[in-house]
């Protein structure tokens, strides 16, 4: 039995298999409509996340399975003081697979070590959000045909943004990728990531101005400055509007550059960009469902005959 805690839990080859399956699902969803009949997904969400939870639920329902769960720690036994390890032992009796989001880092790993069903980390604090990374990788692969040999700019909160950290770590395993980190000095990418890039001899640069590098990029990954990652409200207010992607900035970009965003967006991408064919962030949401369907099938070891 396998769990998914980090995108690095899967080798590049295993990810390739997962993406091939996801693209097959995309091509013929009907073929998989009953693949999980009789199976139940438990969505254990200890903090609110409508988007990720609904994506998981949609994925399981598309596969013909059903869904149980909770979407807030206050409506679960955690409010009574139950430990994560006890909760997962109980959930293991009710469901076949579990997607867990928790504000505390490492909680899904604790769950996985006590679980008799596969556990998927659906986000643990500022630590990991592997299914977002799988979504990002599938989007890149599907829209460009392959993963590798491109320049990706990551913009916004690169310090607390777990989706960014996971994506960088995952992309490091592919050839020919160059990184451009665009952030205010206070939200720079952590040292351990730049050290790791140096060790692997991967080219990167850090800049403050988005305009300056816009024309170089093949992908621009925008992120939101998240209020919940700050202990200090003043810092949040000061930094939240540092970058806003608008038509003017888009006019500096390559014709085939693609804009990605893990969503939800607040105001860091102006709505006027939505109609630009290079805006890929809503397609990304759709790929999120396909990759979660592929993941559920893979972890449940279900193969269509």
Partner 1 sequence: MLNVGKIEEGFVLDHIKAGKSLQIYHHLGLDKLDCTVAIIKNARSNKLGKKDILKVECDIDTLDLSILAFIDHNITVNVIKDGEIVDKKELTLPKEIKNIIYCKNPRCITSIEQELPHIFVLADPDKEIYRCKYCEEKMSPLN
Query: From the CB of 156, what's the least distance to partner 1, in Å?
Result: 20
Whether residue 221 contacts residue 118, with contact meaning beta carbons closer than 8 Å, is answered with: no
Task: Pick the binder of partner 1 from 98, 100, 109, 295 (CB under 8 A).
Answer: 109
Q: Which stretch binds partner 1 (CB under 8 A): 32-40, 81-89, 233-241, 265-273?
A: 81-89
Which residue(s) pair with 175 in the sheet? none
Residue 31 binding partner 1, by CB under 8 A? no
Query: From the CB of 153, what's the least distance to partner 1, in Å?
Result: 25
Near partner 1 in 110-129, by CB under 8 A: 110, 124-127
Number of residues interacting with partner 1: please give it, by CB under 8 A.
16
Sign of CA dihedral 93, 289, 174, 128: negative
Query: From the CB of 85, what's the least distance to partner 1, in Å?
Result: 8
Taking Cα atoms as reference points, which of 291, 269, 293 lies closest to residue 132?
291
DSSP string for residues in 169-235: HHHTTSTTEEEEEE--GGGPPPHHHHHHHHHTT--EEEES-HHHHGGG-SEEEE----GGG-S-HHH
Residue appearing with tokens 């913009």:
155
- Catalytic positions are 51-52, 80, 101, 129
Nearer to partner 1, 8 or 252 (CB): 8
Residue 102 binding partner 1, by CB under 8 A? yes
Residue 104 binding partner 1, by CB under 8 A? yes
CA–CA separation, 76 vs 116, rounded Å? 20
Residue 105 binding partner 1, by CB under 8 A? yes
Q: Which CA distances in Å does 83 have to 108, 116, 119, 232, 266?
A: 12, 16, 16, 29, 34
Query: From the CB of 257, what's the least distance to partner 1, in Å?
Result: 32
Task: Pick the binder of partner 1 from 106, 173, 230, 249 (CB under 8 A).
Answer: 106
Q: Which residues bind partner 1 (CB under 8 A)?
A: 83-85, 102-107, 109-110, 124-127, 192
């Amino acid at each position: 039995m396998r769990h998914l805690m980090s995108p690095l839990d899967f080798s590049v080859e295993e990810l390739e298999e997962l993406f091939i399956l996801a693209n097959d699902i995309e091509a013929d969803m009907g073929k998989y409509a009953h693949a999980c009949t009789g199976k139940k997904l438990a969505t254990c969400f200890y903090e609110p996340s409508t988007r990720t939870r609904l994506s998981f639920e949609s994925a399981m329902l598309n596969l013909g399975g059903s869904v149980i769960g909770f979407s807030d720690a206050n409506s679960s036994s955690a409010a009574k003081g139950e430990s994560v390890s006890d909760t997962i032992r109980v959930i293991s009796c009710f469901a076949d697979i579990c997607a867990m989001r928790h504000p505390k880092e490492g909680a899904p790993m604790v769950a996985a070590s006590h679980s008799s069903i596969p556990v998927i980390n659906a986000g643990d604090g500022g630590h990991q959000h592997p299914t977002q990374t799988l979504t990002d990788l599938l989007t890149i692969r599907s829209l460009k045909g392959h993963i590798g040999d491109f320049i990706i700019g990551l913009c916004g909160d690169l310090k607390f943004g777990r989706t960014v950290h996971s994506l960088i770590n995952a992309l490091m395993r592919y050839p020919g990728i160059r990184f451009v980190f665009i952030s205010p000095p206070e939200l720079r990418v952590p040292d351990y990531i730049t050290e790791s890039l140096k060790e692997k001899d991967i080219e990167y640069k850090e800049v403050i101005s988005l305009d300056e590098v816009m024309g170089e990029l093949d992908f621009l990954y925008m992120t939101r400055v998240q209020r919940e990652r700050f202990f200090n409200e003043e810092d949040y207010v000061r930094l939240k509007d540092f970058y806003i992607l608008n038509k003017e900035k888009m006019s500096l970009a390559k014709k085939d550059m693609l804009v990605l965003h893990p969503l939800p967006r607040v105001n860091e991408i102006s709505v006027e960009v939505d109609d630009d064919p290079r805006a890929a962030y809503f397609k990304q949401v759709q790929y999120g469902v396909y990759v979660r369907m592929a993941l559920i099938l893979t972890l449940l070891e279900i193969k269509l005959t």
